[in-house]
Amino acid sequence: MKPTISKMKGALALGALAVSFGAVSTGASAQEVRFMCSSDGNECDTYREIFDKFEAANDDITVLIEDVPYKAILENLPIQLAAGTGPDIAKVTDLGGLSQYYLDLSPYVDGAYWDANFGATQPWYRKSADDAGIYGMHSQLTVTGPFVNLTLFEQAGVEVPGNDADWDTWAAAANQVAKATGVTYPMAMDRSGHRIAGPAISYGAQLFDDNGDAMLVDDAFTAYVEKFVSWHNDGTMARDVWGGSGGSSYQDAKAEFISGDLVYYFSGSWQIQKMSESIGDDFDWKVVGSPCGTGGCTGMPGGAGVVGFEQTEHPEAVAKVLDFLAQQDNYNYLTAKTLNIPAHAGVASAPVDYIDASPAASQALNAFAAQVAGISPIAIKYQGYKHNRAMFNITLQRVSQAIVGELTVEEAMERAKSDLAEAMAATE
Amino acid sequence: MLGLLTSIMRVFEIPMAFLQRILGIKHLAWVFLAPNLILFFLFAFLPVFLNVVYALTGGDQILLRDRAFVGADNFAVLASCDNYLDPNTCQKDLFWRAVHNTGWFIVLQIGFMIGFSLLTALVLNRDIRARGFFRSVFFFPVLLSPVVVALIWKWILQRHGLMNAGLDAMGLEPVLWMLEREWTFFWSVFLSIWAHMGFYTLILLAGLQAIPRDVYEAALMDAATPFRTFSRITLPLLMPTMLVVMVLALIKGVQTFDEVYAFSGGGPGSATTLLIQYVYETGFAGAPRLFGLASAASIMLALVLVVLTGLQLWATRKNADG
């Protein structure tokens, strides 16, 4: 018997070895592409659906989605990229700030198609003005703007201001409504340097000097900050958002608006899906145009893009994945399912048939889409500026300090100027 | 089994005998220490060394080869101040605000925490009913994650939280606990004490139980008052334990970050920004990422910590020497 068992063991060992080699060789032929993704709603799930189609057509490439919190994209991803341990693909919002790491897709994709459909947003991803590479697919165009609780206006018997109303008119109306209905907050704005930029530009802030260099603070910017701080002091703005946190932490007022405790909420188009889902039939709401100032009535553009990274071991596979996502049918599905404004010219040329969108969500999407044409060139430049995140953070820190009384507005603006000078020096 | 062990030992016997012949019996200890030393070097000494190197370089790049040597510039920038008591006069005002906040935080947190821990330990050391239950109750918060602690207190203290609901039920005006700078700072200290008090209570309780009973019996026979017993017997005999508690609480206090950051984000404004948050935001969360400045700030913090710990150890030894 013994020799037989021995032979069996030998055969088993050989079999195991053969299976191992097989596994190794299969593993070596399949290319695994890691995609770091974060969701405001159902984005990552929708990407998965599209990648399932992609994998069915490309059995040698597997896309692995790492669903992470947005904070990880903001804070961990840059460190990983700097250390050379980043993913192959990621959904990013700091478009210019990470441009040094992007993979140029132009050798692998149809440049004419990408230029025709993403030409307007490509400069946001490029390293410099003379760079002509193709680096990312702008997956969702966002616009900042206000949400209004119509039911509260109706209950208060206050007329909703028109599209050309300025900030003071809205502040007065929101205060009237809050007083009449007894809700806690007349107005709120997300705690974000990006969010406050649109209103500041509407007040005439230039943000860049005549040479095109970052300046941030000028008289108009200061004037808006003064108004913004005074609204916090007199209770017009919800102090809990800007005054309730510190550092560079982001804070929104979505929960307050959804619970019907806020009249006027300045946020952006990415909130539509959540608003639609959570509010349901509880009350009527709608998106109105960005309030006006002396410099116009603009919001800030923005959004997220899907980019590949130069450090990937599979550049061709990465380009293939991105090119697949960028195809009109797939992009259209992504936009329709995630309730976003398309940045793809072909998709944007016709009305998007949004999937499962409530009437309020459809109105909101159309209202935001209508604002795209009126966005100030300064806002567009600011969004594409490589060091805009430094400017956002400085604004956030210093304006918050002025709101809680640690600094006067004048001191805060002086600090903002010196912070910006130091930040620019550090990046040189 | 024994045979197997003997075989394994034989495998090592030859190389060890060889090493002993080469290094001599005295130096052979280094061979045994080597694995630990290598780990220590990689995960303790090397990061400290790298931290110092980063502190001497500038720019926003993470790789050392891309960073410029700036000497002590980062330290000079942090130290540049007209009046250290007024952060507004400092070049890096946020750093000095964090220094002030951390200083006050430590003083208040350590002071009150040791006071409350001692009081609790004294009560729990008495023969009270359900003593075991109360010991568990006071220790329970220590087991919670700092983020959980922060969220619990946030829910209690926010505008529409439990505390204001209570005030409202009593017909009182709600208080904006998390929007007023002084209140938020107070509650940051409070939640930190609440979360860690149980640990120090346990150490002090062990210290109290180590005091011989016959000393108390002698005091009782001498008709000593409870206060005199406490001040002349309990406190002096508990002092070595108290010093250990103080050193531990000091180190833990300076390192405080997670619970306060999750509770208030360092706000309102910078009212609860502590030094570790400053280091984190400067080096990792901000833009541009100033690794050099963050490293310099952490080294300054470490030096202060070394000095304070040294002073306390000196006091401990002095106390022990009588």
Amino acid letter, A204: G
Q: Please report residues of A whose CB lies closer than 8 A to that of B61.
A: 82
Q: Are B51 and B98 in the same domain? A: no
Distance CA A293, CA A315 (A): 47
With CA atoms as reference, report the closest residue to A325 among A304, A310, A311. A304
Q: Are B148 and B24 in the same domain? A: no
Q: List pLDDT tens digits, range B138-182.
A: 999 999 999 999 999 999 999 999 999 999 999 999 999 999 999
Does a structural domain hold residue B149? yes
Q: What's the Cα-to-Cα distance from A131 to each of A95, A128, A379, rounded to whole Å?
A: 15, 5, 21
Average confidence (pLDDT) over B119-146: 90
CATH superfamily of A144-301+374-427: Periplasmic binding protein-like II (3.40.190.10)
User: Do B271 and A404 make contact, defined as CB atoms within 8 angstroms?
Assistant: yes
Q: Given A94, A243, A427, which is nearest B60 (Cβ)? A: A427
Q: Please report residues of B whose CB lies closer than 8 A to that of A427.
A: 59-60, 288
Q: Given A94, A243, A248, which is nearest B179 (Cβ)? A: A243
With CA atoms as reference, report the closest residue to B193 among B134, B236, B252, B151. B252
Tokens representing residue A66 in the block: 């790492």
Q: List pLDDT tens digits, range A343-365.
A: 999 998 888 889 988 888 988 99
Does a structural domain hold residue B43? yes
Is the fold of A32-141+302-348 the same as that of A144-301+374-427?
yes
Q: What's the Cα-to-Cα distance from A31 to each of A350, A373, B209, rounded to whole Å?
A: 36, 41, 64
Tokens representing residue B274 in the block: 């502590």
Structural domain boundaries, residue B23: 2-55
Please report, rounded to a whole number, the percentage of residues in chain B having pLDDT higher than 70: 99
Strand partners, A212: none
User: Do B271 and A411 make contact, defined as CB atoms within 8 angstroms?
Assistant: no
φ, ψ of residue A292 in degrees (nearest 5): -100, 160
Residue ranges of chain A with per-residue pLDDT less than 70: 1-29
Q: Given A393, A407, A426, which is nearest B59 (Cβ)? A: A426
Distance CA B233, CA B216 (A): 8
Q: Are B103 and B39 in the same domain? A: no
A92: enclosing H helix or E strand: strand A89-92
Domain boundaries, chain A: 32-141+302-348, 144-301+374-427
Q: Could you check whether the bond before residue B288 is cis, i.e. omega within 30 degrees of 0?
A: yes
pLDDT given for residue A29 in this prediction: 56
Distance CA A295, CA A201 (A): 6
pLDDT given for residue A106 in this prediction: 95
Mean pLDDT value across chain B: 92
Query: Mutating which of A92, A191, A239, A417 best tests the B interface, going by the most B Cβ atoms within 10 A?
Result: A239
pLDDT band at residue B322 using 50, 70 and 90 as cut-offs: low
pLDDT given for residue A26 in this prediction: 43
Residue A268 distance to chain B (closest CA, Å): 23
User: Do B62 and A83 make contact, defined as CB atoms within 8 angstroms?
Assistant: yes
**Degrees, nearest 5: CA angle B170-B176-B179:** 170
Domain total in chain B: 2
Q: Please report residues of A whose CB lies closer than 8 A to that of B179.
A: 239-240, 243-244
pLDDT given for residue A23 in this prediction: 44
The beta strand positions in B166-231, using DSSP E, are none
Q: Are B41 and B103 in the same domain? A: no
Average confidence (pLDDT) over B303-315: 84
Q: Could you check whether the bond before residue A87 is cis, i.e. omega within 30 degrees of 0?
A: no
Q: List pLDDT tens digits, range B66-90.
A: 899 999 999 999 999 999 999 999 9
The yes/no answer on whether domain A32-141+302-348 falls in CATH 3.30.420.40 is no
Q: Identify how many contiguous H helices and E strands chain B contains and give both numbers.
A: 15, 2
Distance CA A276, CA A271 (A): 9
Residue B109 distance to chain A (closest CA, Å): 21
Please report, rounded to a whole number, the percentage of residues in chain B having pLDDT higher than 90: 71
Q: Are B152 and B267 in the same domain? A: yes
Domain CATH for B270: 1.10.3720.10
Residue A144 distance to chain B (closest CA, Å): 22
Q: What's the Cα-to-Cα distance from A202 to each of A167, A174, A413, B92, B266, rounded to whole Å?
A: 10, 19, 18, 31, 30
Per the model's pLDDT, the better-predicted residue between B48 and B10 turns out to be B48
Is the model's pLDDT at B111 over the cut of 50? yes
Q: Given A94, A97, A415, which is nearest B93 (Cβ)? A: A415
Does a structural domain hold residue B78? no
